[in-house]
C-alpha cells in the first residue's frame, strides 16, 4: 500500500563501486549485451555476487528474478545516481607536470566532466593555453568559481601549497575537492575531499614487497577512499 519514497542511504563503500559497475555496464552495452546476472557482473568487477546484488538493491529493485538485470536500464539508473547526466565543470589548480597531463588526458571528458578553468600561481604559466583553456592567476579563483558555477576542484600543486589552495577553494564556495598532493587537507564539515597520492600508494606496495615471504599472500585491494 505504502507508496512512500523510501530513500535509502547509500553506503560509502557502495558509492565507490558504482563507477566500476558503470564502466563495465557501458562496455557490455557497447557490445550489445542485453542482460547480465549479478554473478556475471561480479566476475568482471572482481567482487562477490552477493555484494553486487546488495549494492544494486540500494538503488532500487531493478533486477528481474530468474533473469538478471537489463544492461541498458541498469546503466541508466547508475548514471543518474552518479549524476553523470549533469554537466560538471571542473577547475584544476596547479599546472605542473601532473596538472597539465590531467588537463590534456581524456580522463575528464570521457566521463562527462569538463575542464572549465585552470589556475596557477606561477606568472610564467599564467596566460598559457592548456587543453584549450587559458591559465589564470590564483587571484581569479573566486570570480571563476561563481561565474563558471564550478562545483569540483582538482588540486595538483606541491604539498606545501595544497592547504592554502584548499582554503581559497572553500572560501570561494567549492565543496568537492580531489587532492593529488600528499598533504592532509583540513576543511570544514560538508566539504568532501578525496585523496589520490602516488607516493602513498607506492609506499603501501613497498610495505607488501618487504613483507612478502611472511604469510601466504596478500590479495587485491580496492582503492583508497580519501
Footprint of DNA (CB under 7 A): 11-14, 36-39, 47-51, 53-54, 56-57, 61-69, 222
Q: Which of residues 200-219 bind a copy of itself (CB under 8 A)?
A: 200-210, 212, 214-219
Scanning 29-37, 55-63, 122-130, 187-195 for contacts with a copy of itself by CB under 8 A, the matching segment is 187-195
Asked if 82 is part of the footprint of a copy of itself (rule: CB under 8 A), the reply reads: yes
Among 1, 2, 66, 97, the residue binding a copy of itself under the rule CB under 8 A is 97
Candidates 34, 57, 73, 101: give the one binding a copy of itself (CB under 8 A): 101
- Pairing mode, strands 63-64 and 176-179: unpaired
Assigned C-alpha cell, 190:
560538508
Residue pair 183/163 in contact (Cβ under 8 Å)? The answer is yes
Backbone angles phi, psi at 131, to 5 degrees: 55, 35
> Which residues, numbered 123-152, are part of the site for a copy of itself (CB under 8 A)?
151-152
Buried b / exposed e along 121-143 (16+ C-beta atoms within 10 A): beeebbeeebeebebbebeebee
Residue 204 binds which entry of a copy of itself, DNA, none, CB below 5-8 Å type-dependent: a copy of itself
Q: Which does 128 bind (CB under 5 to 8 A by kind): a copy of itself, DNA, none?
A: none
Tell me how many degrees the CA angle 26-32-37 measures, rounded to the nearest 5.
70
5 binds, among a copy of itself, DNA, none (CB under 5 to 8 A by kind): none
Radius of gyration (C-alpha) of the chain in whole angstroms: 20
Q: Are 153 and 180 in contact (CB under 8 A)?
A: no
* Residue 170 in grid coordinates: 572553500
Closest to a copy of itself by CB, 9 or 65: 9
CB of 3 to a copy of itself, least distance (A): 19
Amino acid at each position: 500500500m505504502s507508496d512512500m519514497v523510501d530513500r535509502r542511504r547509500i553506503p560509502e563503500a557502495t558509492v565507490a563501486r558504482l563507477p566500476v559497475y558503470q564502466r563495465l555496464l557501458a562496455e557490455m552495452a557497447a557490445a550489445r549485451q542485453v542482460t547480465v546476472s549479478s554473478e556475471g557482473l561480479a566476475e568482471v568487477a572482481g567482487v562477490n555476487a552477493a555484494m553486487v546484488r546488495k549494492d544494486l538493491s540500494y538503488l532500487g529493485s531493478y533486477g528481474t528474478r530468474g533473469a538478471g538485470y537489463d544492461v541498458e536500464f541498469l546503466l541508466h539508473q547508475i548514471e543518474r545516481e552518479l549524476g553523470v547526466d549533469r554537466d560538471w565543470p571542473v577547475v584544476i589548480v596547479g599546472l605542473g607536470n601532473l596538472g597539465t597531463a590531467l588537463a590534456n588526458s581524456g580522463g575528464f571528458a570521457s566521463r562527462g566532466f569538463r575542464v572549465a578553468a585552470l589556475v596557477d600561481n606561477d606568472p610564467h604559466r599564467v596566460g598559457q593555453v592548456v587543453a584549450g583553456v587559458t591559465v589564470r592567476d590564483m587571484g581569479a579563483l573566486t570570480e571563476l568559481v561563481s561565474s563558471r558555477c564550478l562545483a569540483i576542484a582538482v588540486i595538483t600543486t606541491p604539498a606545501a601549497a595544497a592547504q592554502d589552495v584548499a582554503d581559497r577553494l572553500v572560501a570561494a564556495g567549492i565543496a568537492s575537492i580531489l587532492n593529488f598532493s600528499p598533504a592532509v587537507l583540513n576543511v570544514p564539515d560538508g566539504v568532501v575531499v578525496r585523496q589520490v597520492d602516488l607516493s602513498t600508494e607506492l609506499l603501501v606496495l613497498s610495505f607488501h614487497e618487504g613483507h612478502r615471504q611472511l604469510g601466504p599472500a596478500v590479495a587485491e585491494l580496492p582503492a583508497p577512499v580519501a
